[in-house]
Amino acid sequence: MDRRTACLNQANASREKAIADPEHHDQWIDEAIEWLKQAMEASRCAINTVEADGTPHVAEPAGTAAIETFASPLRVIARQ
């Protein structure tokens, strides 16, 4: 499971807790919002690769927002 999916699952669990626990509804909704923010960040951090034949490949989302480029004679990997 990728990070984005895991965060979305946590957000759904927090929403369910908000429904089940009206006394702490706002707290659970705040937690769900934080999980959704993390899911959005994870979806922005994808790793794209291009093979020597020019065929693009997209990997699972990365855990960092840093932009890094690695070059070799066979492949270029750009983390966005």
pTM above 0.85, yes or no: no
Q: What percent of the chain has pLDDT over 90?
A: 46
Clarify whether residues 26 and 55 are in a common domain.
Answer: no
The verdict on 31 and 56 lying in the same domain is no
Q: Do 27 and 37 belong to one domain?
A: yes
Mapped onto helix, strand or coil, the DSSP state of residue 67 is coil
3-state secondary structure of 2: coil
Backbone angles phi, psi at 64, to 5 degrees: -130, 150
Domain encompassing residue 6:
1-44
Do 51 and 28 lie in a common domain? no
Same domain membership, residue 27 and residue 9: yes
Structurally, the chain folds into a number of domains equal to 2
Higher-confidence residue of 53 and 29: namely: 29
- Whole-number mean pLDDT of the chain? 73
Run of H or E residues at 48: strand 46-51
| Same domain (yes/no): 67, 39 | no
